[in-house]
């Protein structure tokens, strides 16, 4: 067990590079829980880190992969015992500590989640950070009194991993979902996940007025920029917009009117710093009443660690669809 294969990222005098290499368990980041990895997943952040196209890692070298699931091999924390199925998302993985792209991973006990009853290890990684983000958005909206009675929830970037899972999760939770995407050829797929309406973002004309007729009860926005600015005047009184991404830009122009006239709320979704009690609640919901019904449909590709470079290139080029699962344990 001392030597194992990992997808490792370097940045030193020889330049930025990543790829498969053999490392020792002793070289892993510190932590109380050592696991044999079963699955990971590919997020946009992983593609940026693996190619060097984004400043994700804060130290080098590190194993990539912001999501991981597997079985405990050894633990210095009595809360975990050998053989336990666990998962971890974010929490510094592939940023300040070794991530899930290795046959073994060492985790901090405070961020290690026992696999909830109702989820398999594979299902937990189809969800991964993307599903956690969508569910955290809904949890925060509901904590701020969002209900289906306020009207449909808009999901921007609906053809992405977060968007697809949000459609499935929100509709499972009893909300009408309107999917906004620039990929009209995916609309039938999105309807199959639970979207009652699909809106082509290229044909979505915003009036530019500070206030407009209400159209949505709330929204999960992964786009930002002009999309976020256009959505705010359309939100029903006391509805919420949860922001989880910036694919369309980090800045947006708006006014105070949706907030002081309709009482709309803007909620930030920062998954990496989510408190443990909230993490536990999100995963409990994802394994029960919010569990998406179409996980296998959303998982459009399964790859090995060695295939990651091609996946990264395709994802950054916009040539990916659905969730990509990384099968690390070859016996599965």
- β-pair type (153-155, 177-181): parallel
Q: How many helices (H) and strands (E) does the chain have?
A: 9, 16
Nearest to 243 by CA among 209, 276, 266: 266
Report the share of the chain in percent with pLDDT over 90. 95
Instruction: Identify whether residues 102 and 203 lie together within a single domain.
Output: no
Q: Is residue 289 in a domain?
A: no
Instruction: Identify whether residues 98 and 199 lie together within a single domain.
Output: no
Each residue of 160-195: pLDDT tens digit? Answer: 999 999 999 999 999 999 999 999 999 999 999 999
Cis before residue 61, ω within 30 degrees of 0? Answer: yes
**Domain CATH for 109:** 3.90.180.10
Instruction: Identify whether residues 108 and 154 lie together within a single domain.
Output: no
Instruction: Quote the pLDDT of residue 273.
Output: 82
Instruction: Identify whether residues 79 and 199 lie together within a single domain.
Output: no
The tokens for 306 are 């060695």
Question: d(Cα 259, Cα 274) in Å, to the nearest integer?
Answer: 25
| Average pLDDT over every residue of 29-51 | 97
Q: Is residue 43 in a domain?
A: yes
Q: Is residue 21 in a domain?
A: yes
Nearest to 324 by CA among 37, 1, 47: 47
Instruction: Quote the pLDDT of residue 83.
Output: 98
| Mean pLDDT computed over every residue of the chain | 96
Instruction: Identify whether residues 60 and 150 lie together within a single domain.
Output: no
Instruction: Quote the pLDDT of residue 332.
Output: 86
CA 23 to chain centre: 28
Instruction: Identify whether residues 71 and 167 lie together within a single domain.
Output: no
Instruction: Identify whether residues 139 and 108 lie together within a single domain.
Output: no
Instruction: Identify whether residues 110 and 166 lie together within a single domain.
Output: no
Q: Is residue 74 in a domain?
A: yes
**Domain CATH for 180:** 3.40.50.720
Instruction: Identify whether residues 90 and 181 lie together within a single domain.
Output: no
Angle ∠(13,15,6) on CA atoms, nearest 5: 110
Instruction: Identify whether residues 139 and 251 lie together within a single domain.
Output: yes
| Average pLDDT over every residue of 95-116 | 98
Q: In what order do the strands lie in the sheet with 197-200?
A: 197-200, 177-181, 153-155, 218-221, 240-243, 265-268
- Orientation of helix 276-286 relative to helix 121-143, angle to 10°: 110
Instruction: Quote the pLDDT of residue 106.
Output: 98
The string of DSSP letters for 154-217 reads EESSTTSHHHHHHHHHHHHTT--EEEEES-GGGHHHHHHHT-SEEEEGGG------SS----BS
Q: Is residue 283 in a domain?
A: no
Domain of residue 15, residue span: 3-115+295-327
Return phi, psi of residue 228, to 5°.
Answer: -65, -45
- β-pair type (3-12, 265-268): unpaired
Instruction: Quote the pLDDT of residue 205.
Output: 86
Q: Global pTM?
A: 0.96
Instruction: Identify whether residues 202 and 228 lie together within a single domain.
Output: yes
Q: Which of 255, 271, 287 is the last residue of a domain?
A: 271
Instruction: Quote the pLDDT of residue 149.
Output: 98
How many structural domains are present in the chain?
A: 2
Instruction: Quote the pLDDT of residue 2.
Output: 80
**Dihedral of the CA atoms 27, 30, 31, 35 (nearest 10)?**
-10
Q: Is the pLDDT of residue 1 over 70?
A: no
Each residue of 230-289: pLDDT tens digit? Answer: 999 999 999 999 999 998 999 999 999 999 999 999 999 999 889 999 999 999 999 999
Instruction: Identify whether residues 198 and 265 lie together within a single domain.
Output: yes
At 319, the pLDDT band (50, 70, 90 cuts) reads: confident
């Amino acid at each position: 067990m001392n030597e194992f294969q990992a997808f490792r990222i370097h940045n030193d005098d020889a330049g930025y590079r990543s790829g498969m290499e053999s490392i020792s368990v002793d070289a892993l980041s510190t932590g109380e829980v050592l696991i044999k990895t079963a699955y990971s997943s590919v997020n946009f952040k992983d593609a940026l880190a693996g190619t060097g196209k984004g400043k994700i890692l804060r130290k080098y070298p590190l194993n990539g992969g912001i999501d991981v699931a597997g079985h405990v091999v050894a633990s210095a924390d009595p809360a975990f015992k050998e053989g336990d199925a666990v998962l971890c998302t974010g929490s510094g993985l592939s940023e300040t500590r070794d991530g899930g792209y290795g046959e073994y991973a060492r985790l901090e006990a405070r961020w290690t989640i026992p696999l909830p009853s109702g989820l398999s290890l594979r299902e937990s990684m189809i969800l991964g950070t993307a599903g956690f983000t969508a569910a955290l958005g809904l949890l925060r909206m509901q904590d701020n009194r969002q209900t289906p009675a306020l009207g449909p929830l808009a999901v921007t970037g609906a053809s992405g991993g977060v968007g697809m899972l949000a459609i499935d999760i929100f509709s499972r939770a009893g909300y009408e979902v309107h999917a906004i995407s620039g990929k009209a050829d995916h609309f039938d797929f999105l309807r199959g996940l639970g979207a009652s309406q699909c809106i082509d973002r290229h044909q979505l004309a915003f009036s530019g007025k500070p206030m407009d007729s209400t159209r949505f009860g709330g929204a999960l926005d992964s786009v930002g920029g002009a999309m976020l600015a256009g959505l705010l005047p359309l939100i029903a009184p006391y509805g919420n917009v949860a922001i989880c991404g910036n694919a369309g830009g980090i800045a947006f122009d708006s006014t105070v009117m949706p907030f002081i006239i309709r009482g709309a709320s803007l909620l930030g979704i920062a998954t990496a710093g989510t408190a443990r009690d909230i993490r536990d609640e999100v995963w409990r919901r994802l394994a029960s009443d919010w569990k998406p019904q179409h996980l296998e449909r959303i998982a459009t590709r399964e790859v090995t660690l060695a295939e990651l470079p091609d996946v990264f290139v395709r994802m950054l080029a916009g040539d990916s669809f659905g969730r990509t699962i990384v099968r690390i344990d070859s016996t599965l």
